[in-house]
Every structure is written in C-alpha cells, then in structure tokens.
Amino acid sequence: MTARKILFTLAFFVVWSLIMPQFVSAEEWVSFPAKKDVAPDKVWTVEFNTAIDPKTIHSEDIYVVTVDGKQLFMPSYVQEDGRSITVLPPPDGYEPGQTYTLFIKKQVQSANGRSLKAGYKMTFTVQRSATHQPEDEEVLSYGTVTASILNVRAEKTTASEKLGELERGDVVKIYRFDGYWAEIRYHDQIAYLHKDYLKLRKANGGIVEGLNIIIDAGHGGHDPGASDRGYNEKEINLDVADKVQHNLQKLGAHVLLTREDDTFLPLKGEGSRVEFSREHYGDIFVSIHTNAAGNESSKGAETYYDSLKDDNVYEGYLLAKNIQEQLVNMAGMFDRGVKNNNWTVIHYNPIPSVLVELGFITNPSDFDKLTSPAFRQVYADAITLGIVNYFKEEVK
C-alpha cells in the first residue's frame, strides 16, 4: 500500500470515529490495520471531519510505544486547516526493523468539546537498513567547537599549558568528562577542552541523550511573578518546567530543575539559579516565564538571548530561535520574535542560555492557554522540540 493510501485509511477511521455511534468500552482500543516497511523518519498525518481543539493535541494524548512498553516523546500539532494533525517521528527516528504502536487517546477533542468515543491504535514495523560499522567503543561523545577559537590544554585547568587551538566547527572525539572538562586526544597525547564551548552528541546515542539540561521555572516562593484572575506565573512556570523535564527524560537527557517546588531562588550569587547551573555542569539553560502587560491587547510568545554576554552568544540565539519557532508552530502563539536582552540568568551563564516568555496572562486568548493544564503540555512539547532541533543544527 502506498504512503498516500495509508494516510487516507488512517484519516477515514478517525473521521468515522467522530461522527458515528460507538459501542466500545472505555478500556478498549479500536485498531487500525498494521503497517509494514514504514520509513524511519515517517511523519503521520491524521485527518478529522471537524476542527480540533489544540489543547488536546500533545505528547500525552498522541504517542508511540515500543514493544517493551516504553512511551516515546512524539511531537504533534494541528495544521493550519484546523482539522489535520501532524505527528512527527521521534527526534532520533524510529529504529530500523523494530515494531511500534501509535496511540490516539479518546481525550482528543473537537473544537466544540466532543471527544473521541474510543481510543485508536495502529501497529507498524519500520523498514530495515543496511548494517553499519559500530563506533569506537572507547569514544563517549562527539563534540563540535562553538567558540571561534578554543584552547587545547594539557591539564584540566585554564592555567595549564596550551597545546594548541581548535576552531568553530571542528569535531573531536571525547573519551571522558570530569566536571566541565572533556578529555580528547590531541597529536597522540591526552588533552582537555572546556565543554562550555562544545555542542555534544553521545556516541551511539540519541540527540540529547546524556546531556545536562537545566530548566529554570521563573519566580517562586514569596515572588509570584505576573498574576491575573487568581492565577500566578510561578505556578504556570513550574508546571511547564515539570513537563519539559518529563519529555526530555524520555529522550535520555539528564534534566535538572532549578526548583522543584514553590521555592524562591536568587538570580545570581550563592544559592542562585546561575550557580545551580554551574554546579551541575549544564550544557544548556532554559528559563521559563509568563508575561503580563497593562492592557489586554499585548499577546504572544517571545524568547530571549543575550548578545552582551562573553560566551556562546550565537548558540544562545540559535537555541532561542528554535524554541520560538515551535511555540509559534506547535502552540499557535502570536510571534513576538527572538529578542535580545541581558537578563541576569542568561547574561551570567556562559553556556547557551535563553529566557522564554510563554504568553501574556493579561491577554484573554493567552490566558486560556496558560491556565489550561492540557495546553501546558503543548507548551512543554514545543520547548522540548525546540531544544532537540537546536542540537540537530550543525555548527557553522
């Protein structure tokens, strides 16, 4: 069966489920016919006969499970027609030769609040690929230099002998890490690079697997942040941060939250958010916030980087650009753009760092999204995919 025919078969069943009476219990799933020889980068499109509520389209309602029961992070979003959903492949693609099951939970709703009468699932097997040579087992990770010039050191300190220089875009094999130092081989001898200036990729691993990703939920404790109609920014930020952590952990990342509860942390100095990032050897830092204005007309998402910091300015811009794109594409936010500001938490953080403003709690449309627990998962999916896409980008 061609890919186009598969699409229409899938679409037919979903359309039918919204308009015909059902006699399936809540515990059962309606199964689509199994598919074979699916491409590793297969993008599924699900078509409905009516407009869909974007709040119900996220990775907890539409997902893929492996044969051993592992739920994969699957970005999905409503297309411009409002009736079709795009389900992207996992960030690292499907594993050749393996079998998966795509689930569409009955919690998916139409724009007028009607739910599917049952959940739907489809099993598919990915086409096999040609065998390839395994990587050198001693190599832990690959690193691409992000600084214009990166000094190669004889010891794990900036005061040690300089053995040479690497340039932006150079790729090195990393054999182990010790804090912020990456051990490499340079002219047949052991040498060290500071990993603040390396975009990392684990050997034989996923795009973000093993990375130390710091997620900062803005405000907290005695500092509620923006507030409106009984909702506080600090609670929205933490809920989205929790969901981003959950998504990235599915992808194998080591994700740390600067705060896990209603706690206040200073911006810099002892016990601060910046100190937390440094103490845990972060590879990137993402601070999540909610905006407010003195009028209802201000709306949309914006993501900040800092051009005045000394390190990783362009990488910070790329991280901000990728996250902003997904907040617009997946969450349907008005695009206020990528902006430049020397916010403390990103200015004093040498790793690629950004500050995300999800939307305006003072705008009626943004308010509905920000205060919806379901739509906060959409925000989290968008930020997650933005992070993944940043690490996919080659260093130029």
User: Would you tell me how many other CB atoms lie within 10 Å of the CB of residue 25?
Assistant: 7
DSSP 282: -
Whole-number pLDDT of residue 396 = 86
- Read off the pTM: 0.91
Cα 53 to chain center, whole Å? 22
Closest CA to 368 of 111, 8, 95, 3: 111
Q: How far is the C-alpha of 273 from the C-alpha of 224, rounded, in Å?
A: 16
CB atoms within 10 A of CB 308: 10
| Residues 323, 73: Cα–Cα separation, whole Å | 16
The burial class, CB within 10 Å (0-12 / 13-18 / 19+), for 298 is: middle
Does an H or E element contain 381, and which? helix 373-392
End-to-end CA gap in the chain: 41
72: left (phi over 0), alpha (psi -120 to 50) or beta: beta
What token pair was written down for 279? Answer: 């103490």
* pLDDT value for 135: 55
Give CA–CA dist 348/344, Å, rounded.
6
pLDDT in single tens digits along all 396 residues of the chain:
333 333 333 443 444 344 333 333 444 789 989 999 999 999 999 888 889 999 999 999 999 999 999 999 989 999 999 999 999 999 999 999 999 999 999 999 999 999 888 899 999 999 997 655 555 669 999 999 999 999 999 999 999 999 999 999 999 999 999 999 999 999 999 999 999 999 999 998 999 999 999 999 999 999 999 999 999 999 999 999 999 999 999 999 999 999 999 999 999 999 999 999 999 999 999 999 999 999 999 999 999 999 999 999 999 999 999 999 999 999 999 999 999 999 999 999 999 999 999 999 999 999 999 999 999 999 999 999 999 999 999 998
Cα-to-chain-centroid distance, residue 365: 24
Residue 26: its pLDDT value, please? 43
Q: Which domains does the chain have, with CATH numbers?
A: 3-126 (2.60.40.1220), 141-202 (2.30.30.40), 212-392 (3.40.630.40)
The distance of Cα 34 from the centroid of its chain, to the nearest Å, equals 29
Structure tokens at 118: 């049952």
